[in-house]
Amino acid sequence: MKKFKGRAWKFGDDISTDHIAPGRLFHLRTNLPELAKHVLEDADPDFAKKMSVGDIVVGGRNFGLGSSREHAPQIIKIAGVSAILAKSFARIFYRNSINLGLPVLICDTDKIDDGDELEIDMNAGEINDLTKEIKITFQPLPPAMLTILSDGGIINHFKKNKGFKLT
Amino acid sequence: MGKTIAEKILSAKSGQDAKAGDIVIVDVDVIALQDGTGPLAIDQFAVLGATEVAKPKQTYLFIEHAAPSPRRELSNAHLLMRAFARKTGVNLSDVNGGVIHQRLVESAVKPGDVVVGADSHTCMSGGLGAFATGMGSTDVAIAMAAGKTWMRVPETFKIEITGRFPAGVYPKDLMLSIIGKIGADGATYKALEFTGDTIENMPLTDRLTLSNMAVESGAKAGIIAADKITAEYLREQGRPDDYIPLTADNDAGYEKIIKIDVGKLEPVIAAPHTVDNTKSIAEAAGIEINQVYIGSCTNGRLADLKVAAGVLKGKKIASSVRLIITPASRSVYLAALNAGIIGDLVEAGAMITGPGCGACVGVHGGILGDGEACLATTNRNFQGRMGNPKGFIYLGSPATAAATALNGKITDPREYIDK
Ligand code: SF4
C-alpha cells in the first residue's frame, strides 16, 4: 500500500452517507457488490460507470457525514476506489473506513481538480498531483488508526492480536 | 483537574484514569443493532470467527428501519436477524416494537453505561447520563464478540442553557439553532454536555431531543447529567434501581463553553440539504409543503404527539398536504391512544402508521415525489434522505409541523399556541 496512483474524482462539501449509499437502496445492503454499482449515485449519478479501479475520491469538508452505515465505505472500497482525500471527515465514516483498510486522508483538496492524476505516497505522507506537478502533504494518521490500517483493518488487527493492541 | 461526564464514565469502564485524548479499552454495557446495520454486523461477526456473543443479555437487535418489511430482500434480512437472535440468545425487538433509541432508553440504558450501537443516533441515550455513541457494523460486531471496544476519550463542549422557552418554542428549535451556530462539523469528535437551569428543569423526553441530535454537529456523544428527573423517568419505566446520580466535577476541563438563553429563541427551521442550514421561522414561512411527517427518535414521543394534537384538535389539515404520524415505539403509541391523542390527530386528517422509523430513512412509509417538499420532525434533511434525491426536506418542531399541516405551507406555530 506504500505508493499508488489514480485519477481524482472531485466532489463538494458535506457528502453524506445518503449520497454514497442511499436509503432507497436499503434492500441492496445485503448484496454489497450490487449496491456498489450505485456508489455515490446521489452525488454523481454516473460515477460508478465512469470510474476505474484504483481511482481516488476527493471531497471537501465533512465527508461521510450522517448515518453510521458502514455500507458507504464498504461499497466505495468494493467499487475499487483506492483512497479518499478530504479537508475533513465525519467521525463514524472515518473510523469505519480505517476499519475496512480504506485510506482516508486529510489534506487541502482545493488544489486538486477533477481528472488530475494523483500519486499517493503513504510513507512520505504526500500526495503528488502529477497533472499540476505539485505536492500536497496529508495529516499524519493518529497512531491507533495507523496501526489498524497497517494491520489491514480492524478484523485483521483483532485476530492477529487476539484483542485490541492500540494503547 | 476534575472530570467531565465522558471522562468519568470512560475512566470507570476502562479501569484507568482517563482524560481527553487518551485511548482506552472499555467494557460495554449495552450493544445495539438495527435492521439496516445488523445483517452486516452478523456477517462481520462470522468473518471474525466469533460464534458466541459475550453479553447476550445486554445485546439488542431491533427490526424497525424497514418494519413491517416492504420488500422480500428486507424480509430475508429480518429472517437472518431472528435466526441470529435465536442462536446467540441476544434480545430481539421485532416489527412493532419501535425505534432502536427510544426502545433503549425505555428499557435498557442506565446512567453511567457505555452504549455502542450500529446507528449514528445512539448518542440519544446520553440523555440518560450514559456515554452512548454510534459506530459501524464491524466495530459493533467486535463489541458483540468481546464485550469491549476501544475509544479515544473525547474533549467536551459544555453547552450551558438558561432561561425559559417562550410559548411555541421547543427543545427542537434550540437544538437546530445550536447546530446552525456551531455547524454540521463544528463539534466533530467532541462530546457535548448540556447543562444549565433550563436542562435541570427539562423533562427527560425533551432532553432526548437534544442528545439525539448531537451527532448532527459531528459530536461523538451528547450527554446530560443524571439527576432527579432521570430518576423519575426510570421509575416510570419500572426500573427505579437503575438510577445512579452522575454529574461532571465542578472543576472539569472543557474545550469550549457555549452559552444560550432560550428566552430569546424563536421557532427554527433547517432547510435543504444540511441540518446546519437553519432559518428563522419568519424566513421560511410560506414555503409550500406537500407532506408533513411527525415521528422518529428525535420527536416521535408522547409529548411530541401531544403538542401536535394541541395545535390540530378540532381543525382540519389543508387538502394539499399529507400528514403522516409514526409513534416512536409501541408504548408511545399505546399511551397516545389511551390519552385520546390519536383520535384528535386522526380527526384532523392525520394518517397514523405503526411504530418504527417510518418515513425517516427513505425506505418506505412516505417517500417523496420529484420536487416535493416535506416538513419533518426528524433529525436529517440530507439530499435523498427520505427516499428521493429530488425531494426537499425541512426540519422543525412538532408544533411547527402541525401548524404547517393546517396551511400546506411552513407556518409559525405561535399563531396556534395559547400564550
Ligand atoms: S427514526 Fe430515523 S434517525 Fe431515528 S433511528 Fe430511525 S431512521 Fe434513524
Beta-carbon count within 10 A of B411 CB: 28
CATH ID of A3-140, from 3.40.50.720, 3.40.605.10, 3.30.1330.80, 3.20.19.10: 3.20.19.10
Q: Which residue of B has its CA nearest to A167?
A: B23
Question: Which element (helix H / strand E) includes B24?
Answer: strand B23-27
Considering only CB atoms, which chain A residues are within 8 Å of B184? Answer: 14, 62, 65
B201 touches chain A (CB under 8 A): no
What ligand 1 atom has the least distance to the C-alpha of B64? 6
Q: How big is the CA angle at B329 (ends B327 and B333), to the nearest 5 degrees?
A: 55
Q: Is A158 on the interface with B (CB under 8 A)?
A: yes
* Alpha carbon of B223 to ligand 1 centroid (Å): 19
Distance CA A104, CA A106 (A): 7
pLDDT at B78: 98
Q: Characterize B226-241 residue by residue with b for buried, 16 or more Cβ atoms within 10 angstroms of its Cβ, and e for exposed.
A: bbebbbebbeeeeeee
* B19, B137, B275: best to mutate for the A interface, most A CBs within 10 A: B137
Q: What local confidence, expressed as pLDDT, does residue B418 receive?
A: 77
DSSP string, B48-90: TT--S-S-GGGEEEE--TT-S-SSHHHHHHHHHHHHHHHHH--
Instruction: Reduce the DSSP state of residue B372 to 3 states and report it.
Output: coil
**All domains of chain B in start order, with CATH:** 5-261 (3.30.499.10), 268-415 (3.30.499.10)
The pLDDT averaged over each successive group of 10 residues in chain B (419 residues) is 97 98 98 97 97 98 97 97 98 98 98 98 98 98 98 98 98 98 96 98 98 98 98 98 98 98 98 98 98 98 98 98 98 98 98 98 95 98 95 98 98 90
The grid cell for A135 is: 505536492
**CB-ligand 1 contact for B195 (6 Å cutoff):** no
Ligand 1: residue whose CA is nearest its atom 6: B357
- Cβ B104 under 6 angstroms from ligand 1: no
Contacts of A76 in chain B (CB under 8 A): none
CA separation for the pair A53, A71 (Å, rounded): 18
pLDDT, residue B346, reads: 98
The pLDDT assigned to B419 comes to 65
Low-confidence ranges of chain A (pLDDT < 70): 1
Interval between CA B354 and ligand 1 midpoint (Å): 14
* Residue from the list A30, A88, A100 with its beta carbon closest to the beta carbon of B77: A30
Which candidate from B137, B184, B384 shows the least CB-CB separation from A19?
A: B384
B323 lines ligand 1 (CB under 6 A): no
B379 close to ligand 1 (CB < 6 Angstrom): yes
| AA letter at A99 | N
Whether residues B383 and A18 touch (CB distance < 8 A) is answered with: yes
Interfacial A residues in 75-134 facing B (CB < 8 Å): 88, 90-92, 95-96, 99-100
Which residues of A fall within a CB distance of 8 Å from B139? 95-96, 99, 154
The per-residue pLDDT for A1 is 59
Cell 448515518, residue?
A67
Q: State in Å: Cα A141 to ligand 1 middle.
A: 31
Tell me the sheet residues that pair with B292.
B323, B375
Write out pLDDT tens, residues B207-257. Answer: 999 999 999 999 999 999 999 999 999 999 999 999 999 999 999 999 999
A69-81 per-position pLDDT tens digit: 999 999 999 999 9
Q: Does B362 contact A at CB distance below 8 Å? A: yes
